[in-house]
């Protein structure tokens, strides 16, 4: 029996332990469930809070965008909308002002350049005629030369051996003849000089006198003459090569008369890069500003007069080969800049990085032209380079403006319209400039 009571007590303890364990498990499950619900609640609150913050930020960003965006660009353009429909009065005013300023500047420059070049060419014509017109006082000359020997002289140009713009001189091979009657002591073959010239070689070919006391001398000589070449229209310029033969005797002893055959040129004469346009000659007198100690001149006029004979030849550039050589780099860089503007306008690409190479080509073009002339005058060479640089700079400004319109206003239609107008305007001006300026310089 005792064993029975003991066994019942153990069973009761076992039952109590099982009940306590079951209660503990239920309590643990309840705590876990509460914790899970609490975590879910916190997570849901955090998600709601994050959504609220995101929504507030989005609204704030939308408000800033609406404030910054101009009235004209608040609504996004539809793909089917026309470009013209997007140009507002403000945009039209921007285009009008920009186009007017650009056209006014470039147009004024072209007009000035063409007038300068045409005036220079017209000045060459006046310079030619004035050289053949005697300036001296005829009565004074007749009075001084009343007892002088009248010498008929003429020239024949055989060749221009050299013409150097850098050294500012040219070399002439020619023949000159003298004819006079009486005055056996006169020797013109050895008593003449060339104004601003150095005679390199002189040969007397003939020296005869006939029965009627008519004297004739024929001389061949090579002379280098200094000349300051005018390069306003370089490299399409013309030059007037003048040879003044002066008597070493004063006007009281010798006076020149022009032979009708004088000023004739060798038919096969050739000057590298040039063609001969015309030639002429005349007899003149030269008046020194002082008497050079001559007693008669000091007594009568205070100036010394001498006989002088002029032979002048006009030459002009033979074609446009040197012109293309001087400006080929400029033409290439200008086309390169226009291509960049075309790409920016029609393909929505930023080609601004293409322009530094164009500017480098422009600088090299300036150096090529500058090395071919002794001094760059205000003329065609300078005008063409300034015009090319202005075209490249205006192209760069246009590309920057197009990029700004696309990024700030987000109006691609207006940007394209603006780019097209500037592109066709620049192409037109480039064609006009590269035709009008060389034609104005080369007109004959």
Q: Report the distance separating Cα 111 and Cα 387, nearest Å.
A: 12
Model confidence at 60: pLDDT above 50: no
Contact indicator for 107, 114 with CB cutoff of 8 Å: no
Which pLDDT value is given to residue 355?
79
Q: Report the distance separating Cα 394 and Cα 368, nearest Å.
A: 24
Report long-range pairs for 292-299 (Cβ below 8 Å, ≥24 apart): 294/250, 296/252, 297/250
| Averaged confidence pLDDT in the chain | 80
Task: Give 38 or 195, the one with higher predicted confidence.
Answer: 195
Q: Report the distance separating Cα 279 and Cα 311, nearest Å.
A: 7
Which tokens in the block code for residue 156? 């024949």
pLDDT digits (tens, 9 = 90+) for 6-44: 444 444 444 444 444 444 434 444 544 545 444 445 544
Contact indicator for 296, 144 with CB cutoff of 8 Å: no
Q: Which residue in the block uniquely carries the two structure tokens 């150096």?
A: 367
86: left (phi over 0), alpha (psi -120 to 50) or beta: alpha
Q: Which residue in the block uniquely carries the two structure tokens 């001087």?
A: 326
Which tokens in the block code for residue 270? 């050739």
Contact indicator for 189, 206 with CB cutoff of 8 Å: no
CB atoms closer than 10 angstroms to residue 153 = 24
Query: DSSP label at 406?
Result: I
Residue 82's pLDDT band (cuts 50, 70, 90):
very low
Q: Which residues of 277-297 are buried (b: 16+ CB within 10 A; e: fewer)?
A: eebbbbbbbbbeeebeebeeb
CA-nearest of 388, 382, 390 to 116 is 382
What distances in angstroms separate CA 239 from CA 51, 53, 73, 101, one per listed residue? 86, 84, 62, 38
Contact indicator for 254, 217 with CB cutoff of 8 Å: no
Q: Which residue in the block uniquely carries the two structure tokens 């029965």?
A: 211
* Phi, psi angles (nearest 5°) of residue 145: -95, 20
Task: For residue 204, list its beta bridge partners.
Answer: 219
pLDDT digits (tens, 9 = 90+) for 143-161: 888 889 999 999 999 999 8
Q: Report the distance separating Cα 284 and Cα 251, nearest Å.
A: 11
Residue 9 CB partners (closer than 8 Å, separation 6+): none
Q: Report the distance separating Cα 430 and Cα 369, nearest Å.
A: 20
pLDDT digits (tens, 9 = 90+) for 347-361: 888 888 887 777 776
């Amino acid at each position: 029996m005792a064993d029975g009571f003991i066994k019942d007590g153990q069973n009761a303890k076992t039952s109590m332990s099982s009940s306590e364990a079951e209660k503990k498990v239920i309590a643990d499950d309840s705590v876990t469930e509460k914790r899970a619900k609490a975590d879910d609640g916190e997570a849901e609150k955090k998600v709601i809070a994050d959504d609220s913050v995101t929504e507030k930020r989005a609204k704030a960003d939308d408000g800033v965008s609406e404030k910054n965006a101009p009235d004209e660009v608040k609504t996004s353009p539809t793909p089917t909308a026309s470009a013209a429909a997007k140009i507002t009065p403000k945009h039209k005013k921007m285009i009008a002002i920009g186009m007017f300023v650009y056209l006014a500047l470039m147009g004024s420059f072209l007009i000035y350049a063409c007038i300068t070049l045409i005036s220079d060419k017209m000045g060459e014509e006046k310079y030619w005629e004035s050289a053949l017109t005697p300036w001296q006082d005829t009565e004074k000359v007749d009075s001084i030369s009343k007892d002088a020997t009248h010498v008929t002289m003429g020239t024949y140009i055989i060749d221009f051996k050299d013409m150097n713009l850098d050294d500012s001189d040219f070399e002439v091979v020619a023949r000159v003849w003298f004819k006079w009657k009486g005055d056996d002591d006169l020797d013109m073959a050895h008593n003449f000089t060339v104004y601003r010239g150095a005679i390199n070689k002189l040969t007397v070919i003939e020296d005869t006198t006939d029965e009627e006391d008519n004297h004739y001398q024929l001389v061949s000589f090579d002379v280098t003459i200094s000349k300051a070449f005018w390069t306003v229209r370089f490299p399409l310029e013309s030059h007037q090569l003048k040879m003044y033969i002066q008597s070493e005797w004063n006007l009281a002893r010798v006076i020149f008369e022009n032979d009708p055959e004088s000023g004739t040129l060798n038919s096969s004469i050739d000057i590298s890069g040039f063609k001969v346009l015309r030639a002429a000659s005349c007899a003149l007198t030269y008046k020194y500003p002082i008497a050079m100690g001559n007693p008669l001149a000091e007594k009568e006029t205070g100036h010394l007069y001498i006989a002088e004979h002029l032979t002048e030849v006009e030459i002009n550039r033979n074609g446009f080969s040197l012109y293309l050589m001087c400006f080929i780099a400029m033409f290439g860089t200008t086309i390169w800049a226009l291509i960049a503007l075309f790409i920016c306008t029609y393909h929505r690409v930023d080609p601004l990085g293409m322009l530094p190479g164009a500017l480098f080509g422009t600088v090299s073009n300036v150096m090529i032209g500058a090395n071919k002339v002794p001094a760059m005058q205000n003329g065609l060479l300078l005008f063409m380079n300034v015009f090319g640089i202005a075209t490249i700079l205006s192209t760069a400004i246009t590309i920057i403006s197009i990029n700004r319109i696309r990024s700030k206003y987000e109006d691609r239609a207006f940007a394209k319209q603006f780019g097209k107008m500037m592109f066709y305007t620049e192409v037109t001006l480039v064609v006009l400039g590269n035709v009008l300026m060389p034609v104005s310089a080369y007109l004959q």
